[in-house]
Structure 1
C-alpha cells in the first residue's frame, strides 16, 4: 500500500488516511473470506464423501514384490476392513496338511470384532471438526471481527494439516504394530498366536505388514540384541540374492527388524519373518490431494489477513 501522496498533506492527516484505507481493505477481505469459507466447506465435504462408507467399498489387491510369500485382497468400507483373504507362504508358518499356503480370512460373522483403520477414523474426525469450524465461523461468530476470523482460520489450518499427516502416515499418527495387536477373533479361524497382522496408511496407500514372532529365550542382559537367528529365510528376496548367498556372498538380513526385540501380547519377542505390501487406494489418494489444496488455500487466506492486520511476523 503506497504512502506517497501528491500534493503532500500533513503527517497526521496522512496517518488517518492510511488507517481509513487499511480499515476499508480489512472490511473487504473479511467479506471475501466468507466466500472462501463456503468454497472450503465444499472441498471438505468432498473429502468426507471420499472417506464415507459405501455399499460396494474399495477392494484392494495385495501382492508381495518378486515373491509368492503374500497374495490376497482386502475390502475397505469407510474406516473398516470388512472382507479379506490372504494367502501366506512363509517357512516359519507351515500351511495345514494338504494345502500349499497358510490362509488368513477375515471373519464375516455378525459377532466378529471390527477391524478398524484408526488413521482413517482420525481423518474423518478431523474433517468433521473442520466442517464445524467453518459453520461456526460463517453463522455463529462475528464475521467483521478480524481477530475471531484469524483464530478460526488457524484452527482450521491445524486440523487440515493433522488430517493430511494421518493420510501420509507420519510416525506420530501411527500406533506401533506391537502395541495394538489385532484381535485374533477378527479372523476365521482365529489368527495364530505367533502371527502379527498390522494394517496402516502410508502416502494414501493401505499397508499390510505380516510378521511371525518367537519368544526370546535367555534374554537377561537388558540389551536389544536377540539370540542368533536360525533357519535362514529368503522370503521376499530375489533369485539374485539367493544365488549370491549360495556362492558364499554376504547374505542380506531377512528383514529390517532382525536385531530388535519387542513387547508383544505381554511377552518379549523377536521377529522371525516379515512381509510388507502396499496397495494404492484411489479414494485416499484423491482425499489427500484435496486436503493439500485446502491446506494451501487456508494458508494463503491466513497470510493475507495477517498482512492487513499488521501481523506479518506471526507464525
Structure 2
C-alpha cells in the first residue's frame, strides 16, 4: 500500500513544501516553549530559595545511631554551617565537646558550587527569554538568530549541563566510596571555639592534628566524617608491640586502616614532612600487613586541592566515624532538580525532532 499526493507535485516543489512545513512546526514549537521556559525559571527560583541564606536556617541532628560516639546538632544557613555543638566519645581520643565558632562559619564546598550553578542557570533562562521572546520587539532591531530554534537548542543544552552538574553535586560520591576530599578539605581548628587543636597538642602529635573534621554531601544528606589521625612515622612503644603480638590488643578495623594518606587542613598550613604524592617515607605497622601508600593529588569532585604554601604530612587513620544527617531542604531541592531535568529533557527532544537533528548531550 502506498500513499500518493493528488494532484501530483514535482520533486522540487515537494521538497520545498516539506521544508516549509518543518519551518512552521519549528516556529510553532518555539512559541510553545516560552511557557515551558518560564515554568523552568520559576522552578529554578524555588530551588534557589531552598539554598538561600535565610535565618534561622536548618537545625540538623548529628548523632550516631545506637551508640554515644557522636551526639549533637549543627545549624545550616545557606551554604554555611554557622553554629553547632557536637559531643565526641571516640575510642582513640579523649572525650570532648566541639563548639562551632559563629564568627568563623564552615563553608560547604559542594553547596557553594551548587549556589553558583543555580545562579548561572537562572541568568541563562532570563537571557534566553528576554532575547527570544521580547515583550515589544522593535521591528528594525530584531535579531532573528536569538529567536531561532538553533539558538534556543544551544541555550537548552547549556542549561541541561548545568542542571546535571547540580544534581551530581547533591548526589556526591557513591556511598560505598570514601570521599578523598577529606585529605585537603578537613575543617581547620580555627572554626571551633576554643580552637580544636591547642598548639601544644598539635606539636606533641608530630605536627599532625589529632582529629580530621570533614563535612560533605552524599545523596542530598549532610555527612560528617571524623577521623582520628596519627603520624605515619610515629614510633610504636614496646608495650603496644607486645600486646599486638600476643593478641591482647587489637587495632580498630575500617576501610582506611593501615594506609598512608597525605593530609593538610582546608585553610591553614600544616608543618611537617615534605609534600609527597607518592606516599613514601611511611611503613607498615607492627603486627599488620604492609601499608599501601595512598594519596589523592589534585582537586577532587568536591573541590579543594593542596594550595600554595601548604604541606602535606603523612598520616594513618586510627579511627573513622561517619554520621549521616537528612536535610529536608536538600532532599526537596534534589527532587525539584530531577523534575526540572525531566521537563527540560522532553522540551529538548521535541525541539530536536522538529529540527530533524539528533539530540546532543
Common fold by TM > 0.5 = yes
Matched, 1:294 2:340: yes
* Distance across 1 between alignment mates of 2:39 and 2:3: 34
Runs of 4+ more than 6 Å apart: 228-232
Matched, 1:260 2:259: yes
Query: Shift in Å at residue 50 of structure 1?
Result: 0.5
Query: Shift in Å at residue 282 of structure 1?
Result: 0.5
5+ long unaligned stretches in structure 1: 96-101, 220-227, 233-244
Number of residue equivalences = 280
**Alpha carbons of 1:231 and 1:197: their partners in 2 closer, same or farther (altered >3 Å)?**
farther
* Distance across 2 between alignment mates of 1:104 and 1:78: 21
Query: Shift in Å at residue 254 of structure 1?
Result: 2.4
Task: Provide, for residues 65-93 of structure 1, a one-character-per-residue CA deviation record: whole Å limited to 9, x for no partner.
Answer: 33211111110000010111111111211
Q: Is the 8 A contact 1:262 1:269 kept in 2?
A: yes
**Alpha carbons of 1:4 and 1:304: their partners in 2 closer, same or farther (altered >3 Å)?**
farther
Query: Shift in Å at residue 12 of structure 1?
Result: 2.3
Q: Is the 8 A contact 2:186 2:215 kept in 1?
A: no
The equivalent of 2:155 in structure 1 is 152
The equivalent of 1:98 in structure 2 is none
* Distance across 2 between alignment mates of 1:289 and 1:177: 27
Query: Shift in Å at residue 11 of structure 1?
Result: 2.3
Q: Is the 8 A contact 2:349 2:359 kept in 1?
A: no
Task: Provide, for residues 227-268 of structure 1, a one-character-per-residue CA deviation record: whole Å limited to 9, x for no partner.
Answer: x99989xxxxxxxxxxxx99xxxx896221113211113310
Q: Residues 75-114 of structure 1 correspond to what in structure 2 (within 5 A)?
A: 75-95=75-95, 102-108=96-102, 110=103, 113-114=104-105
Q: Is the 8 A contact 2:62 2:323 kept in 1?
A: yes
* Distance across 2 between alignment mates of 1:231 and 1:65: 31
The equivalent of 2:230 in structure 1 is 214
* Distance across 2 between alignment mates of 1:163 and 1:229: 49
User: How does the TM-score come out when normalised to structure 1?
Assistant: 0.82
* Distance across 2 between alignment mates of 1:231 and 1:310: 74
Query: Shift in Å at residue 56 of structure 1?
Result: 1.3
Query: Shift in Å at residue 10 of structure 1?
Result: 2.7
* Distance across 1 between alignment mates of 2:56 and 2:359: 49
* Distance across 2 between alignment mates of 1:73 and 1:252: 29
Query: Shift in Å at residue 4 of structure 1?
Result: 5.3
Aligned residues: CA RMSD: 2.7
* Distance across 2 between alignment mates of 1:36 and 1:3: 36
Higher mean alpha-carbon deviation, 181-190 vs 270-279, is at 181-190
Query: Shift in Å at residue 9 of structure 1?
Result: 2.8
Q: Is the 8 A contact 2:73 2:86 kept in 1?
A: yes
The equivalent of 2:56 in structure 1 is 56
5+ long unaligned stretches in structure 2: 133-144, 198-208, 265-311
* Distance across 2 between alignment mates of 1:140 and 1:252: 64
Query: Shift in Å at residue 181 of structure 1?
Result: 2.4
**Alpha carbons of 1:88 and 1:54: their partners in 2 closer, same or farther (altered >3 Å)?**
same
**Alpha carbons of 1:21 and 1:274: their partners in 2 closer, same or farther (altered >3 Å)?**
same
Q: Is the 8 A contact 2:85 2:100 kept in 1?
A: yes
